[in-house]
Structure 1
Amino acid sequence: METWSRTVVLLLVITVTCSALINELPPGKEWPANNSVKQPFDDDPETTTILILSEKEPSNPIAEHLEVEGPEETIIDASLPVLRSTSPESRVDYTGAQIWKVSTQNTNVRGVIYRLRRRNLISTWGGNQSSIDILVKSNAVNNVTRVFKRERIPIEVVIEDLQQRINEENPPLDPNEVELQNRRGHRMTWKQYHRVEDIHGFMDYLAKTYPKIVSVNSIGKSYEGRDLKVLRISDGKPTNKAVFIDGGIHAREWISPATVTYFINQFAENFDVETDDIKNIDWYFLPVVNPDGYEHTHQSDRLWRKNKKPSRTTSRTCIGTDLNRNFGYRWGGKGSSGNPCSEIYRGSSAFSEPESKALSDFIKSSSANFTAYITYHSYGQYLLYPWGYDNAVPPDYKDLDELGNRMASAIRQTRGSSYQVGSSSGLLYPASGGSDDWAKGQGIRYSFTIELSDTGRYGFILPTSFIEPVARESLNGLRVLAAQVAKL
């Protein structure tokens, strides 16, 4: 088990009385230095080559681009204004843009959606084997409506004005909540989506308040220089298993960091009275894997997905890599793009991005006994296990499926939310280079991607009233996993 430095403990200045059951953490080695571990890349020759998308229509364009949200940048019709702004001072305005749910049962729908995307009239949000959610740009609503009517493809308008929904998503706190923040000593409330500064401040607060069980360290820096802060909750027992949980890989998925910080708060504030299943685990939390992109969604473009590291094409610079296509297990395959302007751009090589590399460096070099890895995303209400890179499953998939279904049952019993369970590629679509595949490839027994609420009514723009209910039911699912880890 990884131990913690006496240096860190000496820096903590607030002393709090803790239960006698919580032992002092013994001194030990520092967390591994960032970039200290060489990463194993797949032997496939594609891992050393940037593959540019062909002009040929893919055989399954919906599956290939299913996770793309926001304006598509691969091909731009010069007659149409582009939603995304390049000015850091201005915000992207989605007034009049709509979200539609489209059935994929019609044989023509894949080709129609592909062609509309190529003309920069729509982009895709999410979906599954039976339907897909698309964003229709404001100046294209009439044209796209005519196309779907002509092709006799039924649609359901889920959001009539996307900007209005964005404006209503994250209202300011009332004065009573603000006053409570001041008394509490941190600004986290789970009644609002918070900025990175608030999240990191909350983590630091817990480390100062509960120094015998909580520690915080930066495992690296983002492209723009923000800390990648990991918080550990542990009673220091050398027999403990370890679980790593992250959120915020995709910038626009605000419910993910909110849920992960909810877990942190519950375990830290109530550790004395938690079950042995929780106490016998070293918990590692990285709430915001992509802090640059996350801040960008608060400041400029609510629907930004990638990180913020620029990449050059032959003609221009495009911003960002999809961090969940950048991990080094079967990197460069299905469901990822070699085009730097694509929303599912996989990066120039496996672990080319500082954020994904820092995460992998830490897990590989840690002496913690990592038995589970869970990464929280949104949306769709899915509990997914490997593999994502192709329609295949690992040898122990039955164990993963059984555990996943028990977790889904606990979630459903909380407030009735139904989560589908299955392999990423089988239940949804192939997506290579994902963090869950990589974690499983490292020998971490239980590796899951959890797509949080909802199923499409709000999509990525989930109102703050959902934060606590979603986090609470997710915590009950996490307790099932903890009980399983405790049995090993």
Structure 2
Amino acid sequence: MPREVLHILVLLCVVLGLASAGRYEDYKLYEVKPETVAQRDALHAIAEESSDKYDFLSLSRIHTQSARVLVPPKHDVSFRVQLESQQIPFELRDANFGRTIHAEVLQNRMLRQSKPYSGTGRLGTERYYSHDEINAYLDDLAARYPSRVFVRVVGKSYEGRLLKTITITNGDGITGKNVVFMDGAFHAREWISPATVVYIIGELVENFDEHAELLATYDWVIMPVVNADGYEYTQLSSDTRLWRKTRQPVTVNNTVCYGTDPNRNFDFHWMEKGASSNPCSNTYAGPRAFSEPEAVVVRDVMHSLSGRGIMYLTIHSYGYALFYPWGWGPELPDTWEDLHEVAAIGADAIRSYSGTEYEVGSSTALYGEAAGASDDYAFNEGFALSYTMELPSGGSSGFDPPPTEIDRLVKETWVGIRAMGKRVTTKYPSPVTKTVV
């Protein structure tokens, strides 16, 4: 289909769709810009006390970083009054977020129809891909590179979707190498996360010669979509686009709420600070640790790499940050300097490549407590290095970089991760290995 025709069709669908902007009709999106520590603390207090009124899409411990807040029409006046009473600067970014997000969903549908994935060849960066398309790509790589690529079904989501990992090697048949374990799409609405992970898979496999040093003594195990149910749910309509959690229902006092935050569901300082016991909360930690099959799958992959797993890297958005443990509280691990060194190398590489600035530090120091997270669990289970990488924001909400931005974001992210990977292979060399006969 000619580009001009596609553009016209997309615009037509957007115009027709604006009449029904869904549940976010007339929601206001604000950017709040605290300038002092006192203003930051006041903003955190508002977020904690009014979580049932406003949706804080981002909120940092760093007082110079702005926050984005989605406010329903009935609470708009009270929200402004609260900010003004605390003298916290803010600006309106989007007067009708519903129409904006609806247009985005329609555009993604049109791109999927006009640029279908055939099941063979590399996935591009021109649009976001579904869970099934990503799984098909993994299987295609395994078929085309049988000596270097191995795909495993490691479990199922609550709704029965197959969760897969891809193990990428250099094909020399040597076992016992150290491992980098990476995952994406813990949170459903963070579409740029699996897009980035898929791009990295493509670089390691299909541009092998360029990155051979990363695979000389290390294998990479990658799970591109952890929260498959939630990820697919966000693609149904504009009403579901900002869904964050899994999809397993929880019934409390005859009220059904759906989903758990899988990044609060790990059995390490579970249900402590930064996690909610309210099943309807976006940070609900679940009825018990590892209640979510998706978290169990990630846990089991970690355990399968015991003794070899050196770096764990989970890709999220958004925040311009590389976090390391601890997230459950303000303490730092004894090896925090090692954690900081490798993360800083990644941040420096990105800055040199594109000018994008990343913050580096512990999760708690930069963004506040988030107990029960996968990075803390991995570090406690023996990974020498463990990170959450919060990618740059995009679009109106921050979670919706337009398709035209995908290529730029995934490439600059890979520059940082590649630099980290190179340092890891020298800092933590693999042990003597044996050749498979």
- Which category describes the TM-score, using the shorter chain as reference length? 0.7 to 0.9
Q: Does the aligned pair in 1 maintain the 2:68–2:397 contact within 8 Å?
A: no
Equivalent pairs: percent with the same residue?
36
**DSSP 3-state at the match of 2:51:** helix
Whose helix fraction is larger, Structure 1's or Structure 2's? Answer: 2
- Per mean C-alpha deviation after superposition, the further-off stretch among 273-282 and 123-132 is 273-282
Distance in 2, matches of 1:444 and 1:246, equals 14
**DSSP 3-state at the match of 2:235:** helix
Alignment of 1:21-420 (within 5 A): 92-104=22-34, 105-106=38-39, 108-118=42-52, 120=53, 122-129=54-61, 130=63, 131-169=66-104, 171-172=107-108, 178=114, 181-182=117-118, 185=120, 188-234=123-169, 235=171, 236-238=173-175, 240-300=177-237, 301-366=240-305, 369-420=308-359
Change (3 A) 1:198 1:394: same
Q: Does the aligned pair in 2 maintain the 1:378–1:460 contact within 8 Å?
A: yes
Change (3 A) 1:308 1:281: same
TM-score, scaled to structure 2: 0.84
Q: Does the aligned pair in 2 maintain the 1:380–1:456 contact within 8 Å?
A: no
Deviations 1:49-68 (A, max 9, x none): xxxxxxxxxxxxxxxxxxxx
Gaps of 5+ in 2: 1-19, 429-437
1:460 aligns to 2:399 (yes or no): yes
**Matched residue, 1:436:** 375
Deviations 1:404-436 (A, max 9, x none): 111101111121110000000011101100000
Distance in 2, matches of 1:427 and 1:99, equals 23
TM-score, scaled to structure 1: 0.76
1:483 aligns to 2:422 (yes or no): yes
Distance in 2, matches of 1:431 and 1:111, equals 16
Q: Does the aligned pair in 2 maintain the 1:385–1:422 contact within 8 Å?
A: yes
The AA in structure 2 aligned to 1:372 is M
1:422 aligns to 2:352 (yes or no): no
Distance in 1, matches of 2:199 and 2:162, equals 20
Deviations 1:46-94 (A, max 9, x none): xxxxxxxxxxxxxxxxxxxxxxxxxxxxxxxxxxxxxxxxxxxx99532
Higher relative contact order, structure no. (Cα contacts within 8 Å, ≥ 6 residues apart):
1
Deviations 1:357-416 (A, max 9, x none): 111112213467111100000001100100000011110101111111111011111211
Change (3 A) 1:320 1:91: farther
- Per mean C-alpha deviation after superposition, the further-off stretch among 448-457 and 191-200 is 448-457
The AA in structure 2 aligned to 1:263 is I
Q: What is the Cα-based RMSD across aligned positions, in Å?
A: 2.5
TM-superposed CA distance for 1:266, in Å, is: 1.1
Q: Does the aligned pair in 1 maintain the 2:22–2:98 contact within 8 Å?
A: no
The AA in structure 2 aligned to 1:219 is V
TM-superposed CA distance for 1:457, in Å, is: 5.8
Distance in 1, matches of 2:267 and 2:420, equals 26
Distance in 1, matches of 2:332 and 2:342, equals 15
TM-superposed CA distance for 1:314, in Å, is: 1.8
- Per mean C-alpha deviation after superposition, the further-off stretch among 279-288 and 457-466 is 457-466
**DSSP 3-state at the match of 2:310:** strand
TM-superposed CA distance for 1:98, in Å, is: 2.1
Distance in 1, matches of 2:383 and 2:31, equals 36
Distance in 2, matches of 1:352 and 1:486, equals 35
**DSSP 3-state at the match of 1:444:** coil
Give aligned pairs, total: 396
